[in-house]
Structure 1
């Protein structure tokens, strides 16, 4: 079968794969608001809750590249349809899990299904849209779904938990999959261009183990919840496994992942942009959510309403990026979006949210729009640097960047926030040492300790925590702005020849 059906139905195909992608990104953030309910309903320990949340991004980070290259070998359609079935079944299993261990196992299966879906979506877009302009717009729409899904995840979770039990945050995926899977089955061609060669399952397992060890070691190290020797052992093991994987790729006549992809400056620039922009977006949302609730005293729903500008603007950033890239060139759009993001972060870092006026919502919208444009620009850079047969592998690399960026962004923002907060807080006198140590960890701990104290002393502690978090907010957002500004400069030089190279698509 030729690619004619794809060309004829390309926009229907795009709608189908975007709907397939939406539940995967929703699951990245929808569970955060359900943690208190989960803990009580399942009687889960702190360690079990950690694994329930972390096992999904940890496994996704390790599975995306192997699944993307497998899709290049056997076809995106087959892997996508399998992923949809697995994800739907795992969602139903997770919704009715009766214990923590069962839910962790269901999250493992969710990660497996999600890792099949994500790279295939990008690979199918690459094969469906051969025209550079149309592909930029298609990737922009895809970026809109990704940004909007991740942004509204907590709102969706909160709305469901107000009326239903905690399993509803998973069960909502099932009807979506029941619609999307048949649509993809009908719309996607049964024959497609693939990359010859066998899929080395041993190499895939090596990469998965290495990525999980590295990511877990980094997160545990920054969180400071594991002994240093254990962290060092896990990180060294991860580095050794990833190094062995790279050596096998370089020596194998049929490598699972063609590392020559990383020889393209556009792909490298796109990956770094994906990691930094997704991490910044996730970290900023985490910081704002805490500031709004702890310092300003807003309810979760009020905090969500306050953050609507950043979410709404992020949702439309994708199509805007596609249009602007076609009009002004990828280099200019990518660089300017990062520079504007840095400026917006500096403004928000020094702004008093007690009196937001018009400027704070406006700048929040500018930040969401600029970061979303930066994310989509990274997709255009990566997918425009390879031919269609390697779209799955390139897409999996990009999706891995998103996973690592989001996961590490939340971790780094959270750990940095805790470190700055503990140095900034001025505790009231008379606190017992144990309570003082706990109260200085995070503003959440400050509130917990304040609840155990007498009225005046508890109120004084809360005020100290609010003042410290305001300082933390300024340092955190200013530091993030500096990193993004440096990235803008690097991207400007890295993408200097992007449009000039005659082989930009190979």
Structure 2
């Protein structure tokens, strides 16, 4: 019998490979938390209202301040991580996120809870670009990095829909503070294992931090997100929304001018000269825009049209989550065989198909339609997100990976906000123009019912007889008309992007191929003259 002596180098390679994937497991934990906390509060709203008695304005800030701060600080924190160390920023942000979660869990007043949620947003803004940039540092092989970012995207997609499910289960047994306390043990695990598994990386050649650019960037993004939020409530061209959009435009122009002259700018604008980088940012932003709006309507459809409880609606959305996670992971396998442009075309086509199916949703008994359409949409968008994020991160030099990751995440956040605002505005307009109100309904109740489907259902509960049934039916039909119209518009946008983005992502000819082409053309011209 012959015995083979193991090659020490092979053993070291296996150990290094295992270490990389263990590091990825540690980096996925904070992504899951950040994504969950964008939606985990939805089911806790009644409990918080009963305990802390916030005003309607305070309740909106409790829900929104986390996402506002998160979106506003992503570019700043990505650049900061490049300078001070990405693992250091990750651990500092995770610690802040854990402490803020504890403060939020035991908040004695609405103002305290708003402040705690803002601190969670600061912590969350450090986690997202740090994890992506560290994946860029850990995985040098392009195929491995693509698979790693696919898993990262799957965790982010899963966390968004897992939030309401986890919240519903916790609230069945504990008080509302439990939706924040669940973060603490995960953060403790991260702080214990990350220093051992994740290597540090920073750019020692970069100088001081651009404080003026950071302030302008934060103010511009916050103004834009706030304008979109107000646009979703009162119309994108309302006075408040329009004013903040103008303010955001002015601040953005100031930021661009300032970055041109800054010695150490936050954003490396030379990246935007790369066709694939621009295409990646475009795909991430518009992909989230296409996903967020219909998903927002889908949750309302399940609860207000099909009369499901919040927890039941969240559980019915689990298949959409699984489809989204599968899309992100399968894309990383398929792209190795089909290539990036063709796989992206399939992703956009799946998203367009899902939105087309969703556009056929009936005002009654449409559960199967929305589940099929939502699953196709989720699988398509996460395919797009996973591969486009990989392109954006890989396009930047490794020392600027944090800033590039932050640009990708900022595009994702702004796309989500824009999707909610535009879809909400379109849906509201169609709802109000399609709604047929009973003539005997008092004017005050007519105005209330014309605001939202939820308000119309509440008004119908105060009525009796045929008038109540007629109002419910008309409101649900009007809401579904807005929902399906928004989905149809999104489908058209996905078809256009299915043609544009893969074309932008096509491989660039190498210099040798370019020189050969030029030589062939020159030879052809000479032959033609002769």
TM range (shorter): over 0.9
Out of 281, 286, 295, which is 2:305 matched to?
295
Give 1:267 shift: 1.8
**Helix, strand or coil at the partner of 1:196:** coil
Partner in structure 1 of residue 443 of structure 2: 433
Partner in structure 2 of residue 454 of structure 1: 464
Is the contact between residue 195 and residue 389 of structure 1 (CA under 8 Å) also seen in structure 2? Answer: no
User: For residues 15 and 256 of structure 2, what CA distance do their matches in structure 1 show?
Assistant: 38
Query: In the alignment, does 2:154 pair up with 1:162?
Result: no
Give 1:5 shift: 9.2
Q: How does 1:16-95 map to 2 (within 5 A)?
A: 16-95=26-105
Query: In the alignment, does 2:219 pair up with 1:215?
Result: no
Is the contact between residue 57 and residue 407 of structure 1 (CA under 8 Å) also seen in structure 2? Answer: no
Out of 275, 292, 296, which is 1:286 matched to?
296
Larger mean Cα displacement after TM superposition, 323-332 or 139-148 = 323-332
**Helix, strand or coil at the partner of 1:28:** coil
Give 1:399 shift: 0.9
**Helix, strand or coil at the partner of 2:395:** coil
Give 1:411 shift: 2.9
Larger mean Cα displacement after TM superposition, 228-237 or 119-128 = 228-237
Out of 367, 372, 390, which is 2:382 matched to?
372
Which of the pair has more CA radius of gyration?
Answer: 2
Q: How does 1:326-365 map to 2 (within 5 A)?
A: 326-352=336-362, 354-355=364-365, 361-365=371-375
Q: What's the CA shift string for 1:453-494, capped at 9, x where partnerless?
A: 234322221111122222222212111111222222220221
Larger mean Cα displacement after TM superposition, 296-305 or 132-141 = 296-305
Which 5+ residue runs of structure 2 have no aligned equivalent? 1-12, 513-530
Partner in structure 2 of residue 251 of structure 1: 261
After superposition, the Cα gap between the structure-2 partners of 1:13 and 1:478, relative to the gap in structure 1 and judged at 3 Å, is same
Q: What's the CA shift string for 1:266-308, capped at 9, x where partnerless?
A: 2222122212222322222221111122222222233233322
Give 1:8 shift: 6.1
Give 1:95 shift: 0.7
User: For residues 511 and 364 of structure 2, what CA distance do their matches in structure 1 show?
Assistant: 50
Number of corresponding residues? 500
Partner in structure 2 of residue 321 of structure 1: 331
Out of 398, 409, 416, which is 1:406 matched to?
416
Larger mean Cα displacement after TM superposition, 36-45 or 176-185 = 36-45
Is the contact between residue 81 and residue 202 of structure 2 (CA under 8 Å) also seen in structure 1? Answer: no
Partner in structure 1 of residue 434 of structure 2: 424
Partner in structure 2 of residue 468 of structure 1: 478
User: For residues 227 and 272 of structure 1, what CA distance do their matches in structure 2 show?
Assistant: 24
Is the contact between residue 416 and residue 476 of structure 1 (CA under 8 Å) also seen in structure 2? Answer: yes
Partner in structure 1 of residue 113 of structure 2: 103
User: For residues 216 and 312 of structure 2, what CA distance do their matches in structure 1 show?
Assistant: 45
Out of 362, 385, 398, which is 2:395 matched to?
385
Which 5+ residue runs of structure 1 have no aligned equivalent? none
User: For residues 501 and 135 of structure 1, what CA distance do their matches in structure 2 show?
Assistant: 26
Is the contact between residue 353 and residue 360 of structure 1 (CA under 8 Å) also seen in structure 2? Answer: no
Q: What's the CA shift string for 1:178-235, capped at 9, x where partnerless?
A: 0011111222224655552211122211211121112212322342289955444433
User: For residues 134 and 313 of structure 2, what CA distance do their matches in structure 1 show?
Assistant: 37
After superposition, the Cα gap between the structure-2 partners of 1:444 and 1:359, relative to the gap in structure 1 and judged at 3 Å, is closer
**Helix, strand or coil at the partner of 1:49:** helix
Out of 191, 212, 226, which is 1:202 matched to?
212
Is the contact between residue 136 and residue 325 of structure 1 (CA under 8 Å) also seen in structure 2? Answer: no
Is the contact between residue 293 and residue 423 of structure 2 (CA under 8 Å) also seen in structure 1? Answer: yes
Is the contact between residue 438 and residue 470 of structure 2 (CA under 8 Å) also seen in structure 1? Answer: yes
Larger mean Cα displacement after TM superposition, 439-448 or 487-496 = 487-496
After superposition, the Cα gap between the structure-2 partners of 1:354 and 1:437, relative to the gap in structure 1 and judged at 3 Å, is closer
Partner in structure 2 of residue 304 of structure 1: 314
**Helix, strand or coil at the partner of 2:107:** coil
Is the contact between residue 276 and residue 391 of structure 2 (CA under 8 Å) also seen in structure 1? Answer: yes
Give 1:59 shift: 1.3
Larger mean Cα displacement after TM superposition, 372-381 or 120-129 = 372-381
Out of 495, 501, 512, which is 1:485 matched to?
495
After superposition, the Cα gap between the structure-2 partners of 1:437 and 1:499, relative to the gap in structure 1 and judged at 3 Å, is farther
Q: What's the CA shift string for 1:85-105, capped at 9, x where partnerless?
A: 000000110111111110110
Q: What's the CA shift string for 1:83-128, capped at 9, x where partnerless?
A: 0100000011011111111011011110110111110000000011
After superposition, the Cα gap between the structure-2 partners of 1:6 and 1:196, relative to the gap in structure 1 and judged at 3 Å, is farther
Is the contact between residue 72 and residue 195 of structure 1 (CA under 8 Å) also seen in structure 2? Answer: no
Query: In the alignment, does 2:122 pair up with 1:143?
Result: no
Give 1:254 shift: 1.9
User: For residues 109 and 18 of structure 1, what CA distance do their matches in structure 2 show?
Assistant: 21
After superposition, the Cα gap between the structure-2 partners of 1:413 and 1:231, relative to the gap in structure 1 and judged at 3 Å, is closer
Out of 107, 130, 136, which is 1:120 matched to?
130
Q: What's the CA shift string for 1:418-467, capped at 9, x where partnerless?
A: 22111111112211122112112211010111122234322221111122
